[in-house]
Amino acid sequence: MVKRVMYLMLILLGVVTEAKPSIYVAKEMRPLYDRDLFLYELLDLSLKAADYPVDIQHVKVHPHQQRTLLALSKGEVDLHWSMSSPAREKLAIAVKFPLFDGLIGKRALLVHRAQLARFEAVKDKAALAKLVAVQGHDWPDTKILAANGLKVRPIVNYQAMFDLILAQKADYFPRSVIEVDSELAAQSAADLVKLPGIYLSYPAHFYFFVNKQQPQLAEKLALGLSRLKESGEYQRLLARYFDLSFLSTARPIYLDNPFFHTD
């Protein structure tokens, strides 16, 4: 009786609050880069901007992108982020806010230092088509490059792609401008360099993907992201994390993305 009276008094005083709902966010089993840290901070800011307090729990997942999207579709996790594709948007709710403002489709080329002179002759897509790229076997980019007539070697292991460039068993490894600098620093390999003169450019979006059983989470994320963009906080966060000066000094080679849509 005494406990019940005390509890009622606490409610009246506003001391007792409802427990925050938990959301389970996929976390890949690999080192975190600036790209990842940006997304974790953006997620937190978005939920706060939407006045949607939650308890974020991290669930370790396999680094293969398609497996993580399948885990979302099965309800094993509530949220992850990924480059979009029509197939992926069938597996989970895509929150249609481009998290990197389209920069995921601006791709610097990682090459072996000894190959720099060879790449000086590469000025267009036709010249690039004579060389061999490496990409993740389940990445949307693999299909995009192939659809443009470029030779692509699909690889399962993430580190193996860097190793193939270092061993000069492949010619180049396209990486987004929001990824490449962190990855170069982590590899700490003097012979692995970012090609200074050119980059690939194709339309692409990177979204938050939400378990279909969590439509409210998707709605709150969309609301929070919209508010962050309207306030200018999103743009400030992007500028704080990424140095994009490379894009003003290199020349784009434009590719088509037949899998891209904006609806």
**Which residue would you say has higher pLDDT here, 31 or 179?**
179
User: Average pLDDT in the 169-190 region?
Assistant: 95
Residue closest to 106 by CA, chosen among 213, 242, 225, 232: 242
pLDDT in tens, 64-116: 666 777 777 777 889 989 888 888 888 889 999 999 999 999 999 999 999 99
**Given this model, what pLDDT does residue 16 score?**
45
- Any bridge partners for residue 23, and if so which? 56
Compute the distance between CA of residue 53 and CA of residue 5 in angstroms, rounded to an integer. Answer: 28
**Given this model, what pLDDT does residue 15 score?**
45
- Any bridge partners for residue 107, and if so which? 176, 200
User: Average pLDDT in the 131-152 region?
Assistant: 95
SS3 207: strand
Place of tokens 């007539």: 149
Task: For 107-119, give the DSSP string.
Answer: EEEEEEGGGHHHH
Whether the Cβ atoms of residue 140 and residue 84 lie closer than 8 Å to each other: yes
Residues 35-53: b if buried by 16+ CB within 10 A, e if exposed: bbebbeebbebbbebbebe
Say if strands 93-95 and 173-176 run parallel, antiparallel, or are unpaired: unpaired
Banded pLDDT at 198 (limits 50, 70, 90): very high
User: Average pLDDT in the 233-256 region?
Assistant: 95
CB atoms within 10 A of CB 236: 11
Query: Is the pLDDT confidence value at 155 over 60?
Result: yes
Residue closest to 174 by CA, chosen among 161, 156, 159, 190: 161
Size of the chain in residues:
263
User: Average pLDDT in the 226-237 region?
Assistant: 97
Q: What is the pTM of this model?
A: 0.84
Query: Is the pLDDT confidence value at 197 over 70?
Result: yes
**Identity (one letter) of the amino acid at 196?**
P
CA angle 225, 177, 198 (to 5 degrees): 140
